[in-house]
A and B are shown apart, each in its own frame.
Chain A
Amino acid sequence: QSVLTQPPSVSAAPGQKVTISCSGSSSNIGNNYVSWYQQLPGTAPKLLIYENNKRPSAIPDRFSGSKSGTSATLGITGLQAGDEADYYCGAWDDSLSAVVFGGGTELTVL
Chain B
Amino acid sequence: QVQLVQSGAEVKKPGASVKVSCKASGYTFTNYDINWVRQATGQGLEWMGWMNPNSGNTGSAQKFQGRVTMTRDTSISTAYMELSSLRSEDTAVYYCARAPITVAGPPLAWFDPWGQGTLVTVSS
Write the residues of chain A forming the contact surface with B, with a CB cutoff of 8 angstroms. Answer: 2, 31-33, 35, 37, 44-47, 50-51, 56, 88, 90-92, 94, 96-104
- State the Cβ distance, A41 to closest chain B Cβ, in Å: 11
Using A44-B116, A99-B35 as known contacts, say yes or no to A33 and B44 having CB atoms under 8 A apart.
no
What residue in chain A is nearest B112 (Cβ atoms)? A47
Tell me the complex Cα distance, A37–B111, Å: 9
Q: Does any Cβ of A come within 8 Å of B11's Cβ?
A: no
Residues of A within 8 A of B107 (CB): 92, 99
Query: Please, could you name 19 A-B residue pairs with CB atoms under 8 Å apart, sorted by A?
Result: A31-B106, A33-B108, A33-B109, A35-B109, A45-B45, A45-B95, A46-B113, A47-B110, A88-B45, A90-B47, A90-B110, A92-B109, A94-B106, A96-B62, A97-B59, A98-B61, A99-B37, A101-B44, A103-B44
Residues of A within 8 A of B106 (CB): 31-32, 92, 94
Residues of B within 8 A of A31 (CB): 106
Given contacts A35-B109, A90-B109, 13 further A-B contacts (CB under 8 A): A33-B109, A45-B37, A45-B111, A46-B112, A46-B114, A51-B108, A88-B44, A91-B109, A92-B107, A92-B108, A96-B61, A98-B47, A101-B47
Write the residues of chain B forming the contact surface with A, with a CB cutoff of 8 angstroms. Answer: 35, 37, 44-47, 59, 61-62, 95, 97, 106-117
- State the Cβ distance, B33 to closest chain A Cβ, in Å: 11
- State the Cβ distance, B29 to closest chain A Cβ, in Å: 19
- Cβ-defined contact, A101 with B45, below 8 A: yes
Using A44-B116, A97-B59, A98-B62 as known contacts, say yes or no to A33 and B110 having CB atoms under 8 A apart.
yes
Which 5 A-B pairs rank lowest in CB-CB distance, beginning with the nearest?
A47-B112, A50-B110, A35-B110, A99-B47, A44-B114
- Cβ-defined contact, B44 with A102, below 8 A: yes
What residue in chain A is nearest B61 (Cβ atoms)? A98
- Cβ-defined contact, B44 with A2, below 8 A: yes
Using A32-B106, A98-B62 as known contacts, say yes or no to A90 and B45 having CB atoms under 8 A apart.
yes
Residues of A within 8 A of B110 (CB): 33, 35, 47, 50-51, 90
